[in-house]
Amino acid sequence: MGSSSGNNFDVIIIGAGVMGSSTAYHAAKAGLKTLLLEQFDFLHHRGSSHGESRTIRVTYTQHHYYPLVMESYKLWQQAQAQAGFKVYYKAHHFDMAPHNDPTLLAVIDNCRKHNIKHQLLRHDQVAEKFSGRFSIPENWTVVSNELGGVIKPSKAVAMFQTLAFKNGAVLRDNTEVIDIKRDSEKENGVVVFTARGEKFRGKKCVVTVGAWVNKLVKTVNGVDLPIVPVETHLMYWRVKEGHEGKFNIGGDFPTFASFGDIYVYGTPILEYPGLIKVAIHGGNRCDPDKRKWGPFVKMNELKEWIEERFGGMVDSSEPVVKQSCLYSMTPDEDFVIDFLGGEFGKDVVVGGGFSGHGFKMAPVIGKILVQLVVYGEASGVDMNHFRIGRFNKTKSML
Ligand SMILES: Cc1cc2nc3c(=O)[nH]c(=O)nc-3n(C[C@H](O)[C@H](O)[C@H](O)COP(=O)(O)OP(=O)(O)OC[C@H]3O[C@@H](n4cnc5c(N)ncnc54)[C@H](O)[C@@H]3O)c2cc1C
């Protein structure tokens, strides 16, 4: 890509959550004149990427995530080495459910297919291994593996932004993008318009606006993407007196996911001493600009799960800390990573719908988005799972 000056860039990235910030880092590192625009303050708490912990795990029901997670492990290590501080904390990972649960069976199948070293544990083995900290019913199985861990999200986003800046990217917050148009003065490229009345020219543009993706894409080309903004909640629960220290990260306590009637997930104690994160996947559909900040879904079921699964060592009466966050969810919970198409051809790339499981793969997603910008394709990745065209209901944009 060529040179640039003033308000002209090789690539303009809209949205500075983890996906946009990782993309800006990869773009700047690749020598592209890069602009990252964010509507709110950097590291704000109104999107999907803030907070203190996200699970990284390799156990997926869909085979196509395995290579992406494995590469991300490597890229997280590389980025934190460049930054000089740590965002990834290692842990084991547990998946648990009734023996015949289809999600659990798919996880086991995935472990076998990809030779992920794992152990299947019965209820008595779990009780013994964890001295009663985990208690599962007799008809449940645990899949245990060593490839778990926790990423610190706000710190990781700050890391990517810092690395992007160090590599020459221009970063602007409090700059809402209100439209993208074809550049009428040039053969290719786009003009990005902001609410402050500014214009930026880019040879390419990447849209990573999380739960706002429908709003922006609809304005830009009138198409409704089936990506739904959902409000979800993180909760932290007090470990009872006498059991402190047993659930800490760095020991043998794992990150975990529990399938069945409800999908519960959690991480060892890291951010708040004495409080363990246990939450439910999912929430209520919302308008990202008119959040209700509640109500919490399935609280009684979650309390029951905590009481039963932690052998009474965690106080299940009320969470001590609650945080509201946004998911942007596709119907199949697979990501959208694709060209916007239509009049924009391959000049505008959309990365969205990262749901409740995208954070761990942010390094590789940023890399893929930059490959799409530079080469028009991503090497070694089967992009068919992420195409906009897979949604039958969506009008073709290509
Ligand atoms: C509670 C919760 C728990 C999760 N747990 C895990 C987990 O354990 N493991 C895991 O891997 N993943 C997890 N995830 C998923 C992961 O956090 C998300 O997939 C990821 O953060 C999505 O990032 P994003 O950059 O797409 O969106 P966001 O972080 O929301 O970033 C989008 C940004 O675009 C900005 N923007 C929007 N519109 C405009 C505009 N017009 N102009 C300029 N800027 C704009 C927004 O302000 C925002 O900053 C979890 C998510 C949540 C909410």
The C-alpha atoms of residue 318 and residue 20 are separated, in whole angstroms, by: 35
Q: Name the residue type at position 356.
A: G
pLDDT value for 398: 30
Q: How far is the CA of 330 from the centre of ligand 1 (A)?
A: 14
The C-alpha atoms of residue 299 and residue 310 are separated, in whole angstroms, by: 16
The C-alpha atoms of residue 267 and residue 278 are separated, in whole angstroms, by: 7
pLDDT value for 297: 87
**Is any atom of ligand 1 closer than 6 Å to the C-beta of 358?**
yes
The C-alpha atoms of residue 54 and residue 152 are separated, in whole angstroms, by: 6
**Count of beta carbons in the 10 Å neighbourhood of residue 337:** 24
pLDDT value for 295: 84
Output the CA–CA distances (angstroms, integers) from residue 113 to 8, 65, 332, in the order listed. 47, 13, 22
Closest CA to 210 of 106, 286, 139: 286
The C-alpha atoms of residue 69 and residue 221 are separated, in whole angstroms, by: 32
Closest CA to 302 of 282, 327, 284, 285: 282
CATH of region 8-48+154-223+332-390: 3.50.50.60
For residue 331, whether the previous peptide bond is cis, meaning omega lies within 30 degrees of 0, is no
CATH of region 91-150+228-329: 3.30.9.10
Q: Name the residue of 41, 171, 192, 209 to mutate for ligand 1: max ligand atoms within 8 A of Cβ.
A: 209
pLDDT value for 186: 83
**Is any atom of ligand 1 closer than 6 Å to the C-beta of 194?**
no
**Is any atom of ligand 1 closer than 6 Å to the C-beta of 157?**
no
Burial of 290 (0-12, 13-18, 19+ CB in 10 A): exposed
pLDDT value for 3: 39
pLDDT value for 395: 43
Per-residue tokens: 371? 């490959």
Q: How far is the CA of 137 from the centre of ligand 1 (A)?
A: 35
**Is any atom of ligand 1 closer than 6 Å to the C-beta of 19?**
yes
**Is any atom of ligand 1 closer than 6 Å to the C-beta of 234?**
yes
DSSP class of residue 314 equals: B
State residue 386 phi and psi, 5-degree precision. Answer: -115, 5
Q: What is the pTM of this model?
A: 0.96
CA-211 nearest atom, ligand 1: 30
Cα first-last separation, the chain: 24
* pLDDT per 10-residue tile (average), the chain, 398 residues: 68 98 98 98 97 96 96 98 97 97 97 97 95 95 96 98 98 98 90 97 98 97 93 96 93 96 96 96 95 89 97 96 94 95 95 97 98 96 94 49
Output the CA–CA distances (angstroms, integers) from residue 40 to 93, 177, 227, 286, in the order listed. 34, 11, 21, 19
State residue 181 phi and psi, 5-degree precision. Answer: -130, 155
The C-alpha atoms of residue 265 and residue 303 are separated, in whole angstroms, by: 13
Q: How far is the CA of 305 from the centre of ligand 1 (A)?
A: 27
CA-nearest residue, atom 50 of ligand 1: 356
Closest CA to 326 of 297, 286, 276: 286
CA-nearest residue, atom 4 of ligand 1: 356
pLDDT value for 143: 98
Residue 108 near residue 120, CB atoms below 8 Å:
yes
pLDDT value for 392: 67
**Is any atom of ligand 1 closer than 6 Å to the C-beta of 269?**
no
CA angle (379, 383, 387) in 5-degree steps: 145
**Is any atom of ligand 1 closer than 6 Å to the C-beta of 210?**
yes
CA-37 nearest atom, ligand 1: 43
Per-residue tokens: 269? 């104690």
Q: How far is the CA of 250 from the centre of ligand 1 (A)?
A: 27
Q: Locate the domains of the chain by residue range.
A: 8-48+154-223+332-390, 91-150+228-329
Per-residue tokens: 265? 């997930």
The C-alpha atoms of residue 9 and residue 11 are separated, in whole angstroms, by: 5
pLDDT value for 394: 45
**Is any atom of ligand 1 closer than 6 Å to the C-beta of 281?**
no
